[in-house]
Homo-oligomer: A and B are copies of this chain.
Amino acid sequence: MIESIKKDITEHLDESISDLERLCAQPSISAQNIGLDTCSRLVQSMLDEAGLETEVMSVPGGPPIVTGVRKGTSNQTILFYDHYDVQPPEPLELWTSDPFKPQIRDERFFARGASDDKGNLAARIAAIKAYMRIAGDLPISVKFFVEGEEEVGSPHLSDFFEANASHLKNRLAADGCIWEGGGVTWDGSPVMHLGLKGILYLELEARGPNRDLHSSYGAVVPNPAWTLMWALSTIKDRHEKILIPGFYDDVREPTREELLSLNSNSNEDQSFREDIGIESFVEGASGSSYGKRLLLEPACSICGIQSGYTGHGAKTVLPSIAKAKIDFRLVPNQRPEDIKRKLKDHLAKEGFDSIKVTEHGSTYPARTPMNSQWAKLVQQSAERVYKKTATLLPGIAGSGPMYPFTDILHIPTITTGVGYPDNRIHAPNENIRLEDYMRNIMHIADIMHQMSKSR
**Interface, chain A (partner B; CB < 8 A):** 153, 197, 199, 201, 208-211, 213-223, 225-226, 229-230, 232-233, 236-238, 269, 276-278, 280-282, 285, 290, 293-294, 297-310, 313-319, 322-325, 327, 329, 351, 360-361, 396-399, 426
Contact present for A216 and B307 (CB under 8 Å): no
| Bound-complex Cα distance A235 to B397 (A) | 34
Count of this chain's copies in the oligomeric assembly:
2
| Bound-complex Cα distance A314 to B152 (A) | 9
22 pairs across A/B with beta carbons < 8 Å? A209-B277, A213-B276, A216-B397, A218-B327, A218-B329, A219-B293, A219-B397, A220-B293, A221-B278, A221-B281, A222-B282, A229-B232, A229-B233, A230-B233, A232-B233, A238-B351, A301-B318, A302-B307, A303-B315, A303-B318, A304-B317, A314-B360
Count chain B CB atoms within 10 A of each CB in A211, A303, A329, A361 and give the residue with the most.
A303
Contact present for B219 and A302 (CB under 8 Å): no
For the complex of A and B, list the 5 residue pairs with the smallest distance between their C-beta atoms, beginning with the closest.
A218-B301, A210-B277, A304-B308, A219-B299, A233-B233
List of B residues within 8 angstroms of A324 by Cβ:
225
Contact present for B302 and A304 (CB under 8 Å): no
Contact present for A305 and B329 (CB under 8 Å): no
List of B residues within 8 angstroms of A305 by Cβ:
225, 229, 305-308, 310, 322
Contact present for A327 and B322 (CB under 8 Å): no
Contact present for B302 and A319 (CB under 8 Å): yes
List of B residues within 8 angstroms of A208 by Cβ:
278
Contact present for A278 and B209 (CB under 8 Å): yes
| Bound-complex Cα distance A107 to B237 (A) | 59
Contact present for B361 and A314 (CB under 8 Å): yes
Output the nearest chain B residue to A281 by Cβ-Cβ distance. B220
| Bound-complex Cα distance A214 to B323 (A) | 20
Contact present for B302 and A323 (CB under 8 Å): no
Q: How far is the CB of A197 from chain B (nearest CB, A)?
A: 7
| Bound-complex Cα distance A103 to B201 (A) | 53
| Bound-complex Cα distance A293 to B218 (A) | 9
Given known A-B contacts A216-B197, A229-B232, A323-B310, A221 and B303 have beta carbons under 8 A apart: no
Output the nearest chain B residue to A232 by Cβ-Cβ distance. B229
List of B residues within 8 angstroms of A302 by Cβ:
223, 225-226, 229, 307-308, 319, 322
Using A218-B300, A226-B301, A310-B323 as known contacts, list a sample of 19 further A-B pairs with CB atoms less than 8 Å apart, ordered by residue number in A.
A210-B278, A214-B397, A216-B396, A216-B399, A217-B397, A218-B327, A219-B293, A220-B285, A222-B278, A222-B282, A225-B324, A229-B233, A301-B318, A304-B310, A305-B307, A305-B310, A306-B307, A314-B360, A316-B327
| Bound-complex Cα distance A317 to B305 (A) | 11
**Which of B229, B309, B426 is close to A303, meaning CB atoms less than 8 Å apart?**
B309
| Bound-complex Cα distance A219 to B397 (A) | 8
| Bound-complex Cα distance A201 to B304 (A) | 23
| Bound-complex Cα distance A277 to B327 (A) | 31
| Bound-complex Cα distance A79 to B445 (A) | 93
List of B residues within 8 angstroms of A282 by Cβ:
219-222
Given known A-B contacts A214-B398, A229-B232, A304 and B294 have beta carbons under 8 A apart: no
Contact present for B290 and A215 (CB under 8 Å): no
Contact present for B329 and A219 (CB under 8 Å): yes
